[in-house]
Amino acid sequence: MNMRIVYHLGAHCTDEERLIRCLLKNRVALAAQGILVPAPTRYRRLLRDTAVQLKGAASDAEIQTIVMEQLVEDNQASRVVLSWDSFLSFPQWVLNGQMYTFAGERIRAFTRILPQNEAEFHLALRNPATFVPALFEKQRARPYEDFIRGTYPAELRWSLVVRQILAQNPGVPLVIWCDEDTPLIWPEVLQAVSGHADGTELTDTDELLAAIMSPEGLAQLKAYLVAHPPASIQQRRRIVAAFLDKYALPERIEMSIDLPGWTAELVEEITAAYYEDVALIRQMPGVTFIAP
């Protein structure tokens, strides 16, 4: 049976493994729909080492069999979900004048491991004004001057990353959303990645909201949604937004930026460019954009 391989690409400093943790907790219910969610330990090193071995070439039947035996326990599955923010790059190599300079090429190398299977990509974007500081904290290996050398934060554009992914992987569906919107669109993101049927009840889906809301606020939100089931996705988003306005924890959603040369004016400039870039990406052929 031909399977579709779904690659959740991150990016770094967006998801922090919440998506794959949630899907793993629901793996039994998803498996009943032909959706497999292997543990990351089964494939991350395997795919990395295999991609290095192949050097961009398509794998032969023997390698495909070995990889599939590691990934798939049920050969009746129609969809396999893989998640790793280093599909695009390791953190220390993300910035090189632009972001993820070789993203398209790297992802194509991974899809060539299982070239007989359809692929599908999912990617969260983040405002470079907070992405760059978070990435600097994540890599920790180099001083800021070495980390940022040759890169001008105000010139960073996700659209360049998206263009090269599309160019190197023609015809592969690419689903994109903004990390800043994730609290409002989390159920839609989970469904887009997993492909589960409408009406499927997933459990343990509150980790993201629990990270940014007071426990009291989250409890009240959950009780309200039970007592007043939303009639539509948009209504649910309005309800969640209202509770976030009241119960969000400022220290969890506001980021203090303290990097050499970064001023309030620079942050505003980067942010304005990000909004323009997102508007451009939303119009790109081949992109499905999840927005509130």
CA 79 to CA 37: how far, in whole Å? 9
Q: Could you give the C-alpha distances from 119 to 33, 174, 260, 285, in angstroms and in order?
A: 18, 9, 41, 17
CA 2 to CA 4: how far, in whole Å? 7
> What value does the mean pLDDT take over residues 269-284?
98
CA 123 to CA 166: how far, in whole Å? 12
Q: What is the pLDDT of residue 290?
A: 98
pLDDT tens per residue across span 218-230: 999 999 999 999 9
* pTM for the predicted model, two decimal places: 0.94
Banded pLDDT at 206 (limits 50, 70, 90): very high
Q: Are 221 and 243 within 8 A, CB to CB?
A: yes
Q: What is the pLDDT of residue 76?
A: 78
pLDDT tens per residue across span 111-145: 999 999 999 999 999 999 999 999 999 887 789 99
> What value does the mean pLDDT take over residues 233-259?
91
Q: What is the pLDDT of residue 15?
A: 92
Q: What is the pLDDT of residue 1?
A: 54
Banded pLDDT at 277 (limits 50, 70, 90): very high
Can you name the residues that pair with 53 across neighbouring β-strands?
A: none
Mean pLDDT, rounded, of the chain: 94
Q: Are 247 and 220 within 8 A, CB to CB?
A: yes
Is residue 276 pLDDT above 60, yes or no? Answer: yes
Backbone angles phi, psi at 282, to 5 degrees: -60, -20
pLDDT tens per residue across span 47-74: 999 999 999 999 999 999 999 998 887 6
